[in-house]
Amino acid sequence: MGTQPEEQASPSLRTECHASPILPARAWQVLRWTPDLQDCSQISDLLTDHLPHVFDLVGSFHILSPVSPGSLTLLILHTRFQAEMFQNLGTWICVQRFHELCRKNKLSGEAQIGPVHPRTCPDCLRPEEENISPFSLWWSTISPFSASEAGHHKEKLLHAMRCRNYETILSYPKYLHQHDSDDLWLHIAFIPIVADALWNFHSEISIDEITAGLSFDHLTRRPREAINLWLSSLPAIIRKWSDKENACAIRSICNTILEQPSLPGTQASLAHLLGLSPAYFCQLFQEQVGQNFSSFVISARISYAKRLLLQGGYSLKEIAQQCGYSDPSHFCKLFRKHAGMTPKQFAEHARNKN
C-alpha cells in the first residue's frame, strides 16, 4: 500500500466566520475542545503557539471560528495520508498530543471529534451541525477491536512490560496475523493498544516518545514491517522508565529505613514487592545508593542507635529492638564493629565530651 502523489488542491473549505480561506486537504474532520472551568478566550494564544506541532503528523489545522468562552473548535486538515485508516491513526495520535499539551499547561476539558470526511465538502461548513462524539467513543466505534478484546491485549502487553518479557511484545503482530491475516486495519489499530499499555506501565511517557520509532512513511508502504521495527524500539523505552520508577522506589525504601530501621524487610521481600529479581534489586540498589542493601540497613540502624544513646532514657534491650535486633548481644557486636566501641562506651564518651 504505497502513498499516492499529492493531488491538486481540493475545493475550498469555507467557514461561516472567516473570509473563505483556501484550505486544501485530502480529508477533514472537526475537533472541538470544551474546557471544564477555564475561559477558552484566555488560553487560545497559549494553545495556538503549539498547535502546529500537534497536527503536523496529518497535515495542518484551522480554527473554525472566533474562540468563544464555551469551546475551541478546530478543523483538522488531512494532507499527508491518502487511506482513511492512516488518517484515523493520525487523528488519534494528534488528539493525544493535544491532550498532553493541555495537561502540561494544567488545562482540563473534553475533546470531541467528528468523522473523517472526503475532500469534497460544502462551501460553507457549519461545525455545530457536525456529528461529533467524545474522543474515546469515536475511537471505540471505528476500532476493529471490541472493548473486551482491546482490554485483553492491553493487559497481556502490560504484564509482558512489567516482566520485561520483550519477546511477547515483539511477537505480537504474528499473533494478530494468525487470527486475521487479511485485516491490515487490525494491525494499524493495534498501535493505540500498545500505547495504552505503555501509559498503564508509566503515565508520564509522552505520545511522541512512544511513536518516535514509528516511521509513518514506512508505515504507509510496508505497514507490518514498520510496526515490527517500531515494536523493537519499545524495550529501550520500557527499560528507561522502569529504571526511573525503580530509582524512585529505592529512594523511598531508603527513607523508610532511615526513619524506621526496626521495620522488617529483607532484600528478597523488597525485590518481590517491586517485581524484580533479588539480583537485579541488589544491582539497582548499589547503583542508586553506592553501597549494598545489607550495609545500608546496618549503617542506618547503627546511626539510629547512636541517636537513641545520645537522647538517653533507653535500656540496651529497648535500643536493640527499636533498631530491628531481637538479640541485644548481636546488636552490641554489630555496634562495636561499626562504631569502634560498645554502646555503653559510646554513651559515656558522648557525656564526657559534652
Residue type, 296: F
In a domain, 350, yes or no: yes
Query: How much is the pLDDT for 71?
Result: 80
CA dist 283 to 162, 247, 293, 295, Å?
Answer: 18, 11, 10, 14
Q: What is the DSSP letter of 138?
A: H
59-85: average pLDDT: 81
88-112: average pLDDT: 92
Query: How much is the pLDDT for 11?
Result: 34
Residue type, 57: L
Instruction: Determine contact, residues 33/54, Cβ cutoff 8 Å.
Output: no
Instruction: Determine contact, residues 76/51, Cβ cutoff 8 Å.
Output: no
Distinct helix (H) and strand (E) counts, the chain: 18, 6
pLDDT range class, residue 20, cuts 50, 70, 90: very low
Whole-angstrom Cα distance, residue 302 to residue 343?
10
Judge if 135 and 151 occupy the same domain: no
Judge if 235 and 155 occupy the same domain: yes
Among 82, 113, 142, the domain boundary falls at 142
Work out the mean pLDDT of the chain and round it to a whole number.
83
This prediction's pTM: 0.72
7-30: average pLDDT: 53
Query: How much is the pLDDT for 50?
Result: 83
Judge if 119 and 153 occupy the same domain: no
Q: Which residue has the cell 542506618?
A: 300
Among 142, 158, 175, the domain boundary falls at 142
Query: How much is the pLDDT for 125?
Result: 61
Q: State the residue range of the domain holding 340.
A: 260-354
Judge if 299 and 227 occupy the same domain: no
In a domain, 94, yes or no: yes
Name the strand (E) or helix (H) holding 33. Answer: strand 27-35
Among 109, 142, 175, the domain boundary falls at 142
**CATH, residue 341:** 1.10.10.60
CA dist 169 to 45, 63, 299, Å?
Answer: 41, 39, 42
Instruction: Determine contact, residues 238/161, Cβ cutoff 8 Å.
Output: yes
**CATH, residue 103:** 3.30.70
Judge if 266 and 325 occupy the same domain: yes
Coil, strand, or helix at residue 79?
Answer: coil
Judge if 121 and 151 occupy the same domain: no
pLDDT range class, residue 231, cuts 50, 70, 90: very high
23-48: average pLDDT: 76
pLDDT range class, residue 274, cuts 50, 70, 90: confident
Judge if 136 and 153 occupy the same domain: no
Judge if 233 and 197 occupy the same domain: yes
In a domain, 4, yes or no: no
Judge if 131 and 179 occupy the same domain: no
Please give the angle made by the CA atoms of 304, 306 and 309, to the nearest 5 degrees: 115
Share of the chain above pLDDT 70, in %: 84
Judge if 170 and 120 occupy the same domain: no
pLDDT range class, residue 68, cuts 50, 70, 90: low
Q: Is the pLDDT of residue 337 over 60?
A: yes
Whole-angstrom Cα distance, residue 347 to residue 102?
58
> pLDDT tens digits, residue range 153-208?
999 999 888 878 888 898 888 777 666 555 788 889 999 999 999 999 999 999 99
Q: Is the pLDDT of residue 322 over 80?
A: yes
Judge if 72 and 36 occupy the same domain: yes
Instruction: Determine contact, residues 262/322, Cβ cutoff 8 Å.
Output: yes
Query: How much is the pLDDT for 263?
Result: 78
Instruction: Determine contact, residues 147/206, Cβ cutoff 8 Å.
Output: no
pLDDT range class, residue 234, cuts 50, 70, 90: very high
Coil, strand, or helix at residue 32?
Answer: strand
311-335: average pLDDT: 91
Q: Which of 65-69, 158-162, 204-208, 286-290 has the lowest mean pLDDT?
A: 65-69
Q: Which of 140-149, 153-162, 269-278 has the lowest mean pLDDT?
A: 269-278
Q: What is the DSSP letter of 13?
A: P
Q: Which of 17-21, 141-145, 216-220 has the lowest mean pLDDT?
A: 17-21
Quote the number of domains for the chain: 3
Q: Which of 66-80, 154-168, 209-223 has the lowest mean pLDDT?
A: 66-80
Contacts of 162 (CB under 8 A, 6+ apart): 201, 275
Nearest Cα to Cα of residue 281 among 263, 269, 296, 297: 269
CA dist 115 to 3, 9, 306, Å?
Answer: 22, 21, 69
Q: Is the pLDDT of residue 13 over 60?
A: no
In a domain, 322, yes or no: yes
Contacts of 253 (CB under 8 A, 6+ apart): 265, 270
Instruction: Determine contact, residues 257/300, Cβ cutoff 8 Å.
Output: yes
339-352: average pLDDT: 88
In a domain, 79, yes or no: yes
In a domain, 249, yes or no: no
Contacts of 115-119 spanning 24+ positions with Cβ under 8 A: 115/29, 116/27, 116/28, 116/29, 116/78, 116/84, 116/87, 116/88, 116/91, 117/27, 117/28, 117/29, 118/27, 119/10, 119/11, 119/25, 119/26, 119/27, 119/28
Judge if 162 and 130 occupy the same domain: no
Phi–psi pair at 332, nearest 5 degrees: -65, -40
Query: How much is the pLDDT for 6?
Result: 39
In a domain, 47, yes or no: yes
